[in-house]
Structure 1
Amino acid sequence: MLSLADLPWGYRVTREVESDTSRPEEEKHPWTPELVACLGLDPVRAGRSGPWAQTRFASKNNNPEVVISSEVDIMASAEEAAADLATPRHPRFLPCMTEVSRSGPEELDGDSIDVEVTLLDYRTVGEDSVALRTKAVITMKGRPIVTVVDSIMARIGRTVVTVQVGTADEPASGIDAIQLVDRMAARAGAH
């Protein structure tokens, strides 16, 4: 897992969870039930089933605020971990992700949400990895609010490590996210 020592000065821990058992049922799949249904995946077979840990951080004084989430999931097998990373490569993943994201929040008083999901071209981390950028523009009372989240998932054996770096307006530096996932992957590979 990432710790405050892995981050530049100015971050605080906002959530820390570790479990020797599998995730709660509603959190077993890294993707929402709506996305699983859109992709036509078997909801019973698609899911994370082993020990897991998560730490979230937020910048203290940066404007805009940067939020970092790191997760480690130990799967039953390397095959299960590989299947987890195969989801973003599904031919319908990008359109389904966009469709599900747009329909997520209730639209009120003419407010709208526009979501764009793209695969990023990062070098491979661990045995396999995939990177995504999700950009959401939420218009509230005629004012756009932009959020950008870069997510990198890497597989090392039966372990999946995930780092998400999110900020308002502009993407956080991609090299920051890749450096963080490198650190987590190195630790996972050592165990």
Structure 2
Amino acid sequence: ADKKRNRRLIGDEYDRLLEAMATSPWPDDVTFVQFAIEQGTRREEALTLRWRDIDFDRHALSLGKTKTMHRAIERGPEIRPLTPGAARLLRTLQAQRKSSRPGDLIFDIGSKDAFSVRFGRMTKKAGLRDLTFHDLRHEATSRLAKIYTNPLELRRVTGHKDIKSLDRYYQPHTEDLAAKAIAYEKRNFADKD
């Protein structure tokens, strides 16, 4: 990851992004972007997901192809928790399909290069400056950190190799951190005034 990048979605950017993506001729583009933000997978990991890789009963996804390919050879596929939001998206997508055989790719978005070009066009259409698809991983990690407050658990969900890598992706909004401090003050010192 670029250590200097800390781009996150602010204000109504999420809605504007989805609205622009909805104009794409590829109907899975919107769900692909939503999944990236809900689950925090890398683009390549999500692109190679097949229906057989999803276990809705165990709330898990199996990633055979990760950034560090030696893992699959050494220990088998990486199993990560499937977030509730990602599970809802996938169930909806599966219900919309005429057929979703176990070996079928989940997301039909064409080639990764074609998607990257479309994503760039759609972000421009939405008026979003300097947003890359990889920035959505920063967004996802920061959102998921509100649920998984233990960094070791968060790392298991996002698939970061270590805490140092995770730290580069966790980019909390200043307002969120300030709100936590204010809430703490109110809880612990409200009666002492």
Higher RCO by CA contacts (8 Å cutoff, separation 6 or greater)? 2
Structure with bigger strand share is 1
TM-score, normalisation: structure 2: 0.23
Max Rg structure:
2
Higher helix share: 2
